[in-house]
Copies of this chain bind each other. A is one copy, B any other.
Amino acid sequence: MAAAPVEAFVEALGPEAVLTSEADLREFRDPYSFAGWDHPVPAACVLPASVEQVQAVVRIAGRHRVPLWTVSRGRNSPYGGAEPRVAGSVVVSLRRMDRVLEVDGELAYALVEPGVSFFDLHAAVRSAGHKLWISVPDLGWGSVVGNTLEHGWGFTPHGDHAASQCGMEVVLASGEVLRTGMGALPGCRAWQAHERGFGPSPDGLFMQSNFGIVTKMGVWLMPEPECYLSGWVTVPGEADLEPLIDTVRPLLLDRTIPNHPLVNGPASAGGLGVPDPGRWNLRFALYGRETVVDAQLAVVERAFSRIPGASVGGRKYAGADAGAAGPANDRVQAGVPGMDMLELMLARGGEHAGHLDFSPVCRLTGRDVTAMCGLMRALAGRHGVAYSPGLILTPRSVVHILPLVFDTTSEEDARRAHALYELLVTEMGRAGYGPYRAHVRYMDLAAGRYDFGDHAQRRFNEALKDALDPDGILSPGKQGIWPREMR
């Protein structure tokens, strides 16, 4: 990279906030890849510490036509981590912007910067003495903002993180700062309390995209319940997946079960605290006054009693005790961040295990889920990859996470996983199953499947990209959206 932009970054942010050494930049590479592979090597990494510094970075990049690649904490390992798409990019790491700016105990929300991890947010809420629970994904080291912007999932009633976001501050490619929703109204104190403001809501545009850099985000929290039940349902037979899904769906639609249950096979279930795993295992949670939780549990038990051999169990906690007790299973549904799932993967796959995640979506009916799982299993089997999925349920859909686990010391093993990934995007897409997110190397491929109206979505995104970022400096290629000059 030419010296001029680096100098400008150093002048704006200070020398410690501009990394250029090979060692420092190695972090911004797919963590599960090989040195010899074709990596887009970044030219530098900048570490802004404030909104003003993000504005300065964007303006310098615009002036010098340098592509940026923004990561919050960059912990997105199974999807390529912090690796950019274009060689010579300047990675904008937001990890120094790690302040929890506000926790509102009455209205149950937080306002966070993008460097705040789930561990950080959990600690901030606790240390301020609020009786509030956050929602966490399986690993707690990632960024709350980053996870949300990628449509990530947790396992409390606020587990659809994109839907539990309220109010953003965004630095645009022009260097301007936009506040969405009620944040656009000076003096308004409902920015994190009320979804939407006056006029169109752009929040969804800044997720899975490259239209702006989110510098603040509101996130809804839940009150610590009086009572918390971490429950499970096990069924014995392969074919029981269908009635399992069809029985849980009405309980999700009528909110008897208010969180996002996870369905998996025996291998994963064992490590997660289900005492006697079946062929398929569903974990769920109930939260609230104990009388209500008891009444809901009785409804759940009655519903599953229709499936021969099904078993329903659970561990009940006082809400105040849920953080300390129980296996990982119980903590994650109580919004307590951990690293257990990584340890579990290493324990099962070996200390050098890595994985790609392929994550298509389908309708939540027994018929649809069984068909999708059958297809996935067949494709994985043909390529010698174990089929051990985790299904995250919403009331009407399933996100089917299939980790393609491989030995990161075996390039052959890794290449096989990548070949399967590519095949899955293509073949599952052809069958009408699209991924909810994708590994950075397969973003073009995945986006290409969403081609209704001869790629109307791509043209729409490109029109927005050209309007909002005419110099094409923000994360070119992210999600398959390229600026004009790189198309």
Contacts and interface: CB of A to CB of B under 8 A. Distances in A.
Contact of A436 (B196, B200, B206, B299): B196
Contacts of A58: none
Interface stretch (A101-109, A273-281, A330-338): A101-109
Contacts of A399: 194
A313 B314 CA distance: 34
Contact of A189 (B178, B189, B222, B432): B432
B200 A205 contact: yes
A463 interface: yes
A178 B453 contact: yes
A294 to B, nearest CB: 8
B298 A186 contact: no
A238 interface: no
A311 interface: no
A190 B394 CA distance: 12
Contacts of A463: 467-468
A451 B177 CA distance: 12
B208 A450 contact: no
Nearest to A180: B457
Contacts of A206: 200
A452 B201 contact: no
A199 interface: yes
B207 A461 contact: no
Contact of A223 (B250, B460, B479): B250
Interface in A127-185: 151, 157, 160, 162-163, 166, 172, 176-180, 182-185
A395 to B, nearest CB: 8
A361 B176 contact: no
B182 A479 contact: no
A200 B211 contact: yes
A397 B399 CA distance: 31
Contacts of A196: 151, 162, 204, 207-208, 436
A359 B390 CA distance: 44
Most chain B CB within a 10 A radius of its CB, from A151, A176, A202, A250: A202
Contact of A450 (B166, B198, B256, B298): B198
Contacts of A433: 188
Nearest to A394: B194
19 contacts: A106-B365, A107-B363, A176-B456, A187-B430, A187-B432, A193-B363, A196-B204, A197-B434, A197-B436, A200-B208, A200-B464, A200-B481, A203-B204, A204-B205, A223-B250, A223-B253, A223-B254, A225-B254, A255-B258
Contacts of A464: 200, 464, 467-468
Interface range, A side: 35 or more
Interface in A318-370: 361-365, 368
Interface in A93-135: 106-109
A310 to B, nearest CB: 19
Contact of A190 (B189, B192, B255, B362): B362
Interface stretch (A4-12, A81-89, A284-292): A284-292
A231 interface: no
B190 A201 contact: no
B176 A453 contact: yes
A59 interface: no
Most chain B CB within a 10 A radius of its CB, from A109, A177, A432: A432
A177 B456 contact: yes
Contacts of A459: 176
Given A183-B452, A223-B253, A258-B255, A198 B208 contact: yes
Nearest to A192: B396
A215 interface: no
A296 interface: yes
Nearest to A453: B177
Contacts of A460: 172, 176, 178, 202, 468
Interface string A432-470: 111111100000001101111100110111011011100
B188 A108 contact: no
Given A192-B396, A202-B205, A292-B296, 19 more contacts: A108-B253, A172-B460, A176-B456, A177-B456, A179-B452, A179-B456, A179-B457, A184-B457, A185-B432, A186-B452, A188-B432, A188-B434, A196-B207, A199-B461, A199-B480, A222-B253, A225-B254, A256-B292, A460-B468
